Every structure is written in C-alpha cells, then in structure tokens.
C-alpha cells in the first residue's frame, strides 16, 4: 500500500511539474505571439514610411497643352489639356491635373480682338491635393492650343 501511495505521490509530483511546464510554454507562446504581432506592426510601419519616402523623393514635373481649340467654354468649366508633353513621376492626369507649382498661360477671346494673357502661381500643396484650370466666369471662354498650356513641378 505504501508503495502504491509513493507511486501515486510521484505521479502527482510529475504531473504538477508537467503542468508548470505547460503553463510556462503557454506563457512563452503568448510572449512570442505578441512579439510577432509587434514585429508585423513594425514591418507594416516601416513599409509605409518607405513608401512615403519614395513618394517624397519622386521627381515630379509635368507639361501639357491643348490638342484643339476650346470654344464657348461654360463659366468655370474645367479646362482639359490633353496633349501631355512631359509627365515625370506620373503626377499629371488630363482628368484631374497637377501637383505643386503650376505655371499657366492662355489666350482669351473677346468679340473680334484677341488679347493674350499669362498667369503664374506658386502654390504650396499637401499630399493628395489636386489642382486644375477653370474658365473665368464671364470672359476667357475660348482657349487656343497654340498658346494654352499647364505645367507644374515639385520643389
């Protein structure tokens, strides 16, 4: 009987030790899971930072002009510059336009005499901002491809 009690006691002691080992392994597993999750978050953050830096380092320069006369433009209509001459960094889209500094010039038509005009603007933009050119509300409703262009670049 004593031998059986000793065997049971020995098995109970070994079981308690194994339970402690299991608990320790569960704790280690939890710590490793947390560490892996932190590592994954850091990798994601570093990847995002790298993408942002690559965007910041990306060279931006565009120049586009009209392909045809634009006549009878509606008041405040967005003017499209379809012929892309330069589009370094793919910042220009004939649909949405621009990036950081825009230089534009156009020619307005008023009755029978032609008046040329030119305009430059230096604009501070943030990532995601869009720029565009619109016809003036009451004048400048005609643009000629030979004299109308839209350019911009990142400094």
**Tokens of residue 89, six digits:** 């960094």
Q: Are 152 and 132 within 8 A, CB to CB?
A: no
3-class SS at 114?
A: strand
Q: How many helices and strands in the chain, by DSSP H and E? A: 1, 5
Half-sphere exposure of 56 (CA within 13 A, CB side): 6
pLDDT tens-digit profile of 45-59? 999 888 877 766 778
Q: Which residue has the higher pLDDT, 104 or 6?
A: 6
Average pLDDT of 26-44? Answer: 94
pLDDT tens-digit profile of 56-98? 677 888 898 888 888 777 888 888 888 899 998 888 887 654 4
- pTM attached to this predicted model: 0.49
CA 59 to the chain's CA centroid: 14
Distance CA 73, CA 57 (A): 38
Which residue is it, tokens 């030790």? 17
3-class SS at 95?
A: coil
| Among 2-11, 23-32, 35-44, 69-78, the least confident range | 69-78
Average pLDDT of 132-147? Answer: 74
User: Phi and psi (nearest 5°) for 151?
Assistant: -135, 155
């Amino acid at each position: 009987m004593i031998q059986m009690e000793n065997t049971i006691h020995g098995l109970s002691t070994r079981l308690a030790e194994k339970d402690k080992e299991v608990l320790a392994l569960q704790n280690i597993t939890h710590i490793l899971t947390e560490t892996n999750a932190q590592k994954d978050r850091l990798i994601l953050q570093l990847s995002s930072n790298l993408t942002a830096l690559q965007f910041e380092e990306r060279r931006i320069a565009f120049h586009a002009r009209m392909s045809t006369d634009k006549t009878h433009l509606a008041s405040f209509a967005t003017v499209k510059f379809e012929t892309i001459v330069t589009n370094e960094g793919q910042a220009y889209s004939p649909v949405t336009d621009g990036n950081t500094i825009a230089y534009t010039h156009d020619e307005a038509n008023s009755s029978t005499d032609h008046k040329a005009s030119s305009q430059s603007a230096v604009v501070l933009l943030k990532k995601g901002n869009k720029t565009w050119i619109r016809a003036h509300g009451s004048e400048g409703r005609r643009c000629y491809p030979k004299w109308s262009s839209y350019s911009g670049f990142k400094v």
